[in-house]
Amino acid sequence: MKIISVEERTIPLGSDTANAAISFQNMTASAVVVEIETGRGRFKGLGFSSYGRYSHGGLLRERFIPRLINITSGISGETSIQLLANVWDILMTNEKEGGHGERSGAVGVLETALWDAIAKSEDLPLWALLERDVGHSGDNGLPAGKTAIYASGGHYRSGSSDATEVAEETKQSLGAGYGWFKLKVGGATQAIDIARLEAAVQAAESSSLIAVDANCAYGGETGATQLNEIDQIGLRWIEEPVDPLDYLALAGCSQSLKTPIATGENIFSQADSRNLLHYGGLRPGIDKLQMDFVLAYGLTEYLRMIADAETLGWSRRDFVPHAGHQVALHAAAGIGLGGHETAAVSGGPFSRVSDDTVVQDGIASLSDTPGTGIENKPELFKLFQDLL
Amino acid sequence: MKIISVEERTIPLGSDTANAAISFQNMTASAVVVEIETGRGRFKGLGFSSYGRYSHGGLLRERFIPRLINITSGISGETSIQLLANVWDILMTNEKEGGHGERSGAVGVLETALWDAIAKSEDLPLWALLERDVGHSGDNGLPAGKTAIYASGGHYRSGSSDATEVAEETKQSLGAGYGWFKLKVGGATQAIDIARLEAAVQAAESSSLIAVDANCAYGGETGATQLNEIDQIGLRWIEEPVDPLDYLALAGCSQSLKTPIATGENIFSQADSRNLLHYGGLRPGIDKLQMDFVLAYGLTEYLRMIADAETLGWSRRDFVPHAGHQVALHAAAGIGLGGHETAAVSGGPFSRVSDDTVVQDGIASLSDTPGTGIENKPELFKLFQDLL
């Protein structure tokens, strides 16, 4: 494989929403196109940053794109996994250990574009390429090409964050075939949050169809009290109750809460993932791991995280990646993860799934279109117009 | 305080040297100038990235400079510490928890420039401002304005990394008044490294005047064997024996080695520092903590790390920051840290200390020049010419 060209554009994602920790008004992402040449011809791969940690334009132009472009000799590997692991080594040349943030997203978005290109060069959807080269675990009870899927939303909006709106979003999401619905908590008073939650549970007709995302709002004693109240509701999961690096607090949560805990979207490396699993007190088979490989050095590093976790008793069913990229959808369907997240709000690049994906009864069934399917997601694809 | 302007330039630092992990051929850093206005007038502060993790131009221009420039109302604080903590909150607006890398260096270099400007506005050297507003612990047996200082070098150079050269560098460094000398290991065969080490010890006439920096080269069983051999020499410290996030391996090192361990230069946040201290098995009063606040969200975050460490039995004497910036020199002399590192190789921005600093008998005595003294470090100051 030869790298022909790499282009990046920074895309403003500004939206009038917030979670407990941040506003999304000035959020950005990187759209990346990598053109490769293989024995079968030239193929363009599309990659898009994950949500919540900004674009990587500066880092890509300063360090990572030059490293990729400077590979003049071609890159090889017996399988797509080995090929990408070799690319990974090149991208990480002269990078020190430790301090995993930002660069992990730059590497992740580049790798994502490469996966799209390589899958296209093999004339396979990414899920089928991954099923072939990694293997599907079968853990999740679904065949390759299908995955559980849920909708997330319930953000705080300026002027309105009321229970009626949350109930409506819950009904719409479940009505559209998503398996469960997740809403934001921790960004309002506990009374308002509980009202929002009760409205969602009532709309869903089951507390197990409602998860919450606290974006680390529940540190300290007040947080513990609030968490205990939420724990009584019997939700599907409580996401990021505390700072994911505060392993003591996290272990405290898993000791005191019956509700499953989900975390990992801000854990960006194999080293950090290992520490989370060793020290965070999380419970295999109960809690959910949401590492987002577009933010975390790509699928190459993600497979290392999964391998580590499997030695500690976790299964791929426990992995439910953050954010809702097409690549995460394909990974879930290809190697058998616990599910796929997608934004319930219509419009915007993280909303829904590609048009050729069927969502029904909580299951997404992917098509045979080669690549990752960004071309079939019009709201996302239009952001690549300048690059193609 | 009002922010008048912020400028950044990316500076190539390419040098023909390497450590066990990376080559420095394409290394870069950011030079930053921040102009502020206070009741006393306008002052320009200079900041310079730390070494080893590249420049932060993209991140600075994309996120952090706009946040600083957009403060139109002025920033206040009863002391310089509170003022900078308020700036910190503004810089970290809409940044999620977790994933601390890169952005921590962007914030660090900006804060560093602000400290220079604020010290100038108070007509004080930074060390005296810190002594006044933080306090000097007295732990290190030196008065404010003075700090222990050592020289680091012994890099691998293409074509020559021989013992004679290392011996020469050791003699020059100790002869120039530095208290001890640190050289690279782990990047050659063990036989070559031991020969280099023996040459350095012989040149220093004492193994306690020689430290080594392994840049994480000693993971795994082979590494453990090599470490045990080096442990017999009785060195001052062994730095970064393993990945600083591999707490299990690090704890293994502190259990098996008599030699003090030094680590922390790739630990970039209070959250990561807490985990290092909780899980890394390091020994207060024996091991050294090298967190580099220019890479790690600045002095504001560094004071939080120190406060955490003090509750666990560590003293400021155990803190010896990485790299050799003027700000680290001033922090060591102002609040009483365990020492200051500076590059033994002459030439280059991290070499030696400002001309108005006297180095003698292992102690650096700082002058009363206001600010951090970059203007008195010609090799570094010339990199700011385009910005001033």
pLDDT in tens, chain B (388 residues): 999 999 999 999 887 888 888 888 889 999 999 999 999 999 999 999 998 999 999 999 999 999 999 988 899 999 999 999 999 999 999 999 999 999 999 999 999 999 999 999 999 999 999 999 999 989 899 999 999 999 999 988 865 568 999 999 999 999 999 999 999 999 999 999 999 999 999 999 999 999 999 999 999 999 999 999 999 999 999 999 999 999 999 999 999 999 999 999 999 999 999 999 999 999 999 999 999 999 999 999 999 999 999 999 999 999 999 998 999 999 999 999 999 999 977 778 888 999 999 999 999 999 999 999 999 999 999 999 999 9
CA separation, residue A236 to residues A167, A168, B191, B354 (Å): 17, 19, 58, 59
Compare CB distances from A101 to B63, B93, B102 and report the shortest one's residue.
B102
* Calpha distance A19→A218 (Å, rounded): 13
Spell out which residues of chain A touch residue B103, defining contact as CB-CB under 8 Å.
Answer: 101-102
Q: Is A142 in the same domain as A110?
A: no
| Active site (annotated) includes residue B322 | yes
Q: What percent of chain A has pLDDT over 70?
A: 99
Q: What range defines the domain where residue B310 resides? A: 130-387
Residue A28 has pLDDT above 90, yes or no: yes
Dump pLDDT digits (tens) for A168-203: 999 999 999 999 999 999 999 999 999 999 999 999
**Are residues B162 and B191 in contact, defined by beta-carbon separation less than 8 angstroms?**
no
Residue partners of B73: CB distance under 8 A and separation at least 6: none
Could you tell me which of A225, A170, A166, A217 has the C-alpha nearest to residue A196? A166
| Chain-centroid distance, C-alpha B123 | 25
Q: How many domains is chain B partitioned into structurally?
A: 2
Cα A66–Cα A380–Cα A362 angle in degrees, nearest 5: 120
Could you tell me which of A377, A266, A368 has the C-alpha nearest to residue A326? A377
* Calpha distance B266→A39 (Å, rounded): 41
DSSP A287: S
Residue A283 has pLDDT above 80, yes or no: yes
**Are residues B383 and B376 in contact, defined by beta-carbon separation less than 8 angstroms?**
no
Residue B323 corresponds to which tokens in the numbers above? Answer: 């790299």
User: How many A/B residue pairs have CB atoms within 8 Å?
Assistant: 149
Q: Is B60 in the same domain as B190?
A: no
The three state secondary structure string of B296-327 is CCHHHHHHHHHHHHHHCCCCHHHECCCCCCHH
pTM score, whole prediction:
0.96
- Domain stop point among A123, A152, A179: A123
* pLDDT value, residue A73: 86
Q: Is A86 in the same domain as A149?
A: no
DSSP B215-279: TTTT-HHHHHHHHHHHHTT--S-EE--S-TT-HHHHHHHHHH-SS-EEE-TT--SHHHHHHHHHH
* Calpha distance A295→B99 (Å, rounded): 9
Q: What is the CATH number of the domain that holds A285?
A: 3.20.20.120
Q: Do B266 and A53 touch (CB under 8 A)?
A: no
Q: Is A37 in the same domain as A142?
A: no
- Domain stop point among B123, B155, B177: B123
Residue A242 has pLDDT above 90, yes or no: yes
**Are residues B303 and B284 in contact, defined by beta-carbon separation less than 8 angstroms?**
no
| Active site (annotated) includes residue B2 | no
Q: Do A97 and B266 touch (CB under 8 A)?
A: yes
Length of chain B: 388
Residue A343 corresponds to which tokens in the numbers above? Answer: 């934004």
* pLDDT value, residue A157: 80
- Give A351's Cβ-side CA count (13 Å radius): 14
* Calpha distance B201→B181 (Å, rounded): 10
Q: Is A241 in the same domain as A381?
A: yes
Compare CB distances from A267 to B21, B98, B216 and report the shortest one's residue.
B98
Catalytic entry in A120, A146, A155, A184? A184
* Calpha distance B141→B134 (Å, rounded): 17
Burial (CB count within 10 angstroms: exposed 0-12, middle 13-18, buried 19+), residue A212: buried
Q: Is B14 in the same domain as B37?
A: yes
- Domain stop point among A73, A100, A123: A123
Mutate to test the interface with A, among B17, B69, B104, B245 (most CBs of A within 10 A): B245
Q: Is A212 in the same domain as A341?
A: yes
Report, in angstroms and rounded to the nearest whole number, the Rg of chain B calculated over CA atoms.
20
For the segment A237-264, the average pLDDT, to the nearest whole number, is 97
Higher-confidence residue of A25 and A357: namely A357
Q: Is B89 in the same domain as B147?
A: no
Q: Is A49 in the same domain as A169?
A: no
Compare CB distances from B100 to A28, A99, A271 and report the shortest one's residue.
A99
Residue A292 banded pLDDT, cuts 50, 70, 90: very high
Q: Is A92 in the same domain as A203?
A: no
**Are residues A72 and A149 in contact, defined by beta-carbon separation less than 8 angstroms?**
no
- A383-387 contacts: CB < 8 A, separation 24 or more? A383/A9, A383/A11, A383/A31, A383/A48, A383/A349, A384/A9, A384/A31, A384/A33, A384/A46, A386/A9, A387/A7, A387/A8, A387/A9, A387/A31, A387/A32, A387/A33
Q: Is B185 in the same domain as B322?
A: yes
Mutate to test the interface with A, among B62, B67, B239, B247 (most CBs of A within 10 A): B62
CA separation, residue B1 to residues B34, B66, B82, B121 (Å): 12, 17, 12, 10
What residue of B is the nearest CA neighbor of A10?
B62
Q: Do A247 and B52 touch (CB under 8 A)?
A: no
DSSP B12-42: E---SEE-SS-B-TT-EEEEEEEEEEETTEE
Q: Is B160 in the same domain as B58?
A: no
Catalytic entry in B44, B100, B288, B322? B322
Residue partners of A388: CB distance under 8 A and separation at least 6: A33, A44
Q: What is the CATH number of the domain that holds A8?
A: 3.30.390.10
Residue A53 has pLDDT above 90, yes or no: yes
Spell out which residues of chain A touch residue B26, defining contact as CB-CB under 8 Å.
Answer: 94
Mutate to test the interface with A, among B30, B96, B246, B294 (most CBs of A within 10 A): B96
Residue A160 has pLDDT above 60, yes or no: no
* pLDDT value, residue A21: 85
Give me the interface pTM, i.e. the ipTM.
0.94
Compare CB distances from B104 to A56, A99, A274 and report the shortest one's residue.
A99
Q: Do A101 and B96 touch (CB under 8 A)?
A: no
